[in-house]
Amino acid sequence: MNEAVAGAAANMLEIRNLHAWYGESHILHGIDLDVKPGECVTLLGRNGAGRSSTLKSILGLVGRRSGSIKVQGQETVGMPTHKIARRGIGYCPEERGIYASLSAEENLMLLPSVGPGGMSVQEIYAMFPNLKERAHSPGTRLSGGEQQMLAMARILRTGARLLLLDEITEGLAPVIVQSLGRVIRQLKERGYTTVLVEQNFRFAQHLADRHYVIEHGQVVAVIDRAEIQQSQDKLNALLGI
């Protein structure tokens, strides 16, 4: 195996020159991104920058895309969404997607398996104790935080090892945000790979190995965890914080 091939195989997710369109609207303009197994990276940026579209592109949920998206070394541009997901991807969309008429536990069981080694219900309830208490409550009766936990728990059931999480802290109380932070840390310890779209930089900075700042559908800065302090001014300017 030559060096280039060995390098490619080492990435869980490798995106090159990704362009994406919704109908006639050209939204992503050449995104490059590398995530190694077990890493947590964030996509940061202002509203409308293209962060959600990047996650959706990975799963083929945009109108059209070009470029290359390799998941565990396999090219997925051109594959249908259900096949891409079976490469072991779990996606928490911004809108969470909890079914109101189903109980928490029914929601938990809903998604098909995408890989081996999904968490058991017992493991899930150990990680999210609130959900155990709410197992038989209908989706509508769950708080925003409980719905978010359920949306995450649900993808952990499927055996996904690459987690795409879109704004999981949005609108949640600080105490819930803290418990989500603990969950992300535990998942990292267990070797999960995570791409986190975040508005809450204070939350993200302690969790991620690396930050990608997106602006107008392009990566305009890549900042390693170790560089955050010295990059603070640049980050403030890019994110408007």
Ligand X SMILES: Nc1ncnc2c1ncn2[C@@H]1O[C@H](COP(=O)(O)OP(=O)(O)OP(=O)(O)O)[C@@H](O)[C@H]1O
Residue type, 56: K
Element counts in the chain: helices (H) and strands (E): 10, 10
For binding to Mg ion (CB under 5 A), which residues are involved? 52
Whose Cβ is closer to ligand X: residue 5's or residue 220's? Answer: 220
Q: Does 58 bind ligand X (CB under 6 A)?
A: no
22 binds, among Mg ion, ligand X, none (CB under 5 to 8 A by kind): ligand X
Q: Does 230 bind ligand X (CB under 6 A)?
A: no
Q: Does 186 bind ligand X (CB under 6 A)?
A: no
160 binds, among Mg ion, ligand X, none (CB under 5 to 8 A by kind): none
Q: Does 45 bind ligand X (CB under 6 A)?
A: yes
Whose Cβ is closer to ligand X: residue 31's or residue 160's? Answer: 31
Q: Does 48 bind ligand X (CB under 6 A)?
A: yes
What does the alpha-carbon distance between residue 126 and residue 141 come to, in Å, rounded to a whole number?
21
Among 17, 25, 120, 236, binds ligand X (CB under 6 A): 25
113 binds, among Mg ion, ligand X, none (CB under 5 to 8 A by kind): none
DSSP string of 7-54? HHHT-SEEEEEEEEEETTEEEEEEEEEEE-TT-EEEEE-STTSSHHHH
Q: Does 129 bind ligand X (CB under 6 A)?
A: no
**Beta carbons of 106 and 145 less than 8 angstroms apart:** no
What does the alpha-carbon distance between residue 28 and residue 223 come to, in Å, rounded to a whole number?
20
How many residues are present in the chain? 241
Please state the closest distance from residue 209 (CB atom) to ligand X, in A. Answer: 21
DSSP string of 92-136? E-TT----TTSBHHHHHT-SPP-SS-PPPHHHHHHH-HHHHHTTT
Please state the closest distance from residue 111 (CB atom) to ligand X, in A. Answer: 23
193-197 and 162-166 strand pairing = parallel
Please state the closest distance from residue 114 (CB atom) to Mg ion, in A. Answer: 23
Whose Cβ is closer to Mg ion: residue 43's or residue 124's? Answer: 43
Structure tokens at 30: 């050449």
232 binds, among ligand X, Mg ion, none (CB under 5 to 8 A by kind): none
Residues interacting with ligand X, by CB under 6 A? 22, 25, 27, 45, 47-53
